[in-house]
Amino acid sequence: MKVLITGAGGQLGGALQRLAPAHADLNAIDVDDVDLTDAAMLRARLVVEAPEVIINAAAYTAVDKAESDEELARAINADAVAIMVEAMEEQGGKLVHVSTDFVFDGKSPRAYRPDDARAPISAYGRTKAEGEDHLRASDLLVRTAWVYEAGGANFVRTMIRLMNEREELGVVADQIGSPTWASGLAQTIWGLLDKQASGTFHHSDAGAASWYDFAVAIAEEALTLGLIARIPAIKPITTAEYPTPAARPAFSLLDCRATRDLLGDVPAHWRANLREMLRQEAALG
Question: Could you say which DSSP state residue 32 is in?
Answer: T
Least Cα distance to 177 among 125, 128, 106 occurs for 106
Q: How many CB atoms lie within 10 A of CB 149?
A: 26
Which of 112, 124, 148, 212 does the annotation list as catalytic? Answer: 124
Q: How many whole angstroms separate alpha carbon 232 and alpha carbon 165? A: 9
Q: How many whole angstroms separate alpha carbon 97 and alpha carbon 84? A: 10
Q: How many whole angstroms separate alpha carbon 270 and alpha carbon 207? A: 6
Distance, CA of 273 to chain centre: 15
Alpha helices in 141-256 (DSSP H): 155-165, 182-194, 211-225
**Strands 53-56 and 94-100, how do they pair?**
parallel
Structural contact between residues 96 and 54, judged by C-beta atoms closer than 8 angstroms: yes
Structural contact between residues 134 and 82, judged by C-beta atoms closer than 8 angstroms: yes
Structural contact between residues 203 and 184, judged by C-beta atoms closer than 8 angstroms: yes
124 has catalytic annotation: yes
Active-site residues, by number, are 124
